[in-house]
Amino acid sequence: MHLSATVCVEAPGDISYRNVILRAVAAACKAAFASVCGREPPADEFTNHVLSAVGEAFNNIAIHCYRDRSSDIARVRVTIDSTAVHLRIEDYGRSFDPLGSGLPDLDALPESGLGIFIMRSLMDEVTYQAGCPNVLSLSKHLPDCLGVPAERAGKGAAGALLHD
Partner 1 sequence: MGFRRSVRARGRRVHFFTTSANGVTTVRIEGELDAVTVSELRPFIETLADERHPRIVLELSNLRLIDSSGVGALVFLYKKAKEYGGMVTVQGLRDQPMSIFKLLHLDRVLLA
Contact positions toward partner 1, by CB under 8 A? 15-16, 18-19, 44-45, 48-49, 51-52, 55-56, 59, 62-63, 106-107, 109-112, 114-115, 117-118, 121-122
> Distance between CA atoms of 77 and 79, rounded to whole angstroms?
6
Q: Decide whether 93 or 115 has the Cβ nearer to partner 1.
A: 115
Cβ neighbours of residue 69 under 8 Å, at least 6 residues apart? 93, 94
Task: Please report which helix (H) or strand (E) contains residue 9, including its range.
Answer: strand 4-12
How many Cα atoms occupy the beta-carbon half-sphere of 158 within 13 Å?
Answer: 18
Burial of residue 52, with CB atoms counted within 10 A of its CB: 0-12 exposed, 13-18 middle, 19 or more buried: middle
Q: 115 φ, ψ to 5°?
A: -60, -45
Closest distance of CB 64 from partner 1, Å: 11
Q: Decide whether 107 or 164 has the Cβ nearer to partner 1.
A: 107
Q: Decide whether 68 or 107 has the Cβ nearer to partner 1.
A: 107
Q: Decide whether 5 or 141 has the Cβ nearer to partner 1.
A: 141
> Distance between CA atoms of 160 and 101, rounded to whole angstroms?
15
Closest distance of CB 132 from partner 1, Å: 25
Closest distance of CB 50 from partner 1, Å: 11
Closest distance of CB 106 from partner 1, Å: 5
Closest distance of CB 99 from partner 1, Å: 17
Give yes or no for a contact between 13 and 62, defined as CB atoms under 8 angstroms apart.
yes
Q: Decide whether 100 or 110 has the Cβ nearer to partner 1.
A: 110
